[in-house]
Amino acid sequence: MLNGILPVYKEKGITSHDVVFKLRKILNMKKIGHAGTLDPDVDGVLLVLLGNSTKVSDYAMNLGKKYCAEICLGIKTTTEDISGEILEEKKVTNISIENLKHICEGLVGEIVQTPPIYSAIKVNGKKLYEYARKGDFNVKIPSRKVNIYSLEILEDSCYYKNNHFYFTINIHCGKGTYIRTLATQIGEKLNIPSCMSKLTRTASGEITIDNTYTLDEIKKCSNVENILLKKELALKDYKFYELPKFRAHKVMNGLRFRKDQFPQLDFKSGIVFTYQEEAIAIYYLKNIDDELLSIKTTFPKNIE
């Protein structure tokens, strides 16, 4: 069975689930997942997790992501992107690029977003878009804090078309950020209806579009193992500590260590234990005063 991260270029017109479904057939394996859903109209980097690497899904989701988004000023839609039903339309003229820059700069940092009802966020056990499809628009959508690390306008991308103004931004953001909602927030600050008209995920962590493979390329690949990335890539925010064989065996048996067995390590944020440079478990302290370390995640490995 294959194990590792497969960097896929998801094309427009298919869902992230479609990618997983197709890869199960191409690779003839069932244990496949992905980290970070892309809408059908969005293309770009999709990290597909194979075999025991599905266990790093939550960690891969936390990798910072980069996007290139085109925003349309002058149209507001139900879905916050250009594919939705138009709710409001306005003629737009004389947009000040400097003012636009100032607004975008003000959105860098920790901001609050209320996701669109046409999204996969769950409320009371149901996905928001399920409420929308039934015509129930009264559901209370919880707001949440997200991080925008950088937001840059590409000045040469600006243009007017059909009485609307279009411009492109590059965004580096944290987990849970809705770029569609960000497009709407920019318009709100201008008091102009707005929506996202195009979106490409250009990077997930350090993995860029240049590092990805299309489904056709994967299908033609004679040895997919050669293009897989190590699961440890998703754990880059942790410190790694190599264990000797006898302790690695104990980890695989689920043993909880005492923290004084590793006086040189700080377990507050968690430590990735490795054997032969491969991650086998993450240990951490639930409480600062605990003497025993807790196990956060283990990664199956045969240790001979």
19, 158, 168, 214 from 194: Cα distances, Å: 30, 15, 13, 32
The H-assigned helical ranges of 127-195 are: 128-133, 179-190
At 55 the three-state DSSP class reads helix
User: Can 289 be counted among the known catalytic residues?
Assistant: no
Pairing mode, strands 271-275 and 278-284: antiparallel
**Active-site residue among 39, 156, 260, 290?**
39
Structure-token pair, residue 148: 């925008």
> What is the residue whose two structure tokens read 């809408």?
39
Distance in angstroms (rounded) separating the CA atoms of residues 180 and 66: 14
Neighbour-count burial of 95, counting CB atoms closer than 10 A to its CB (0-12 exposed, 13-18 middle, 19+ buried): middle
Neighbour-count burial of 39, counting CB atoms closer than 10 A to its CB (0-12 exposed, 13-18 middle, 19+ buried): buried
Q: Which residues are the active-site residues?
A: 39
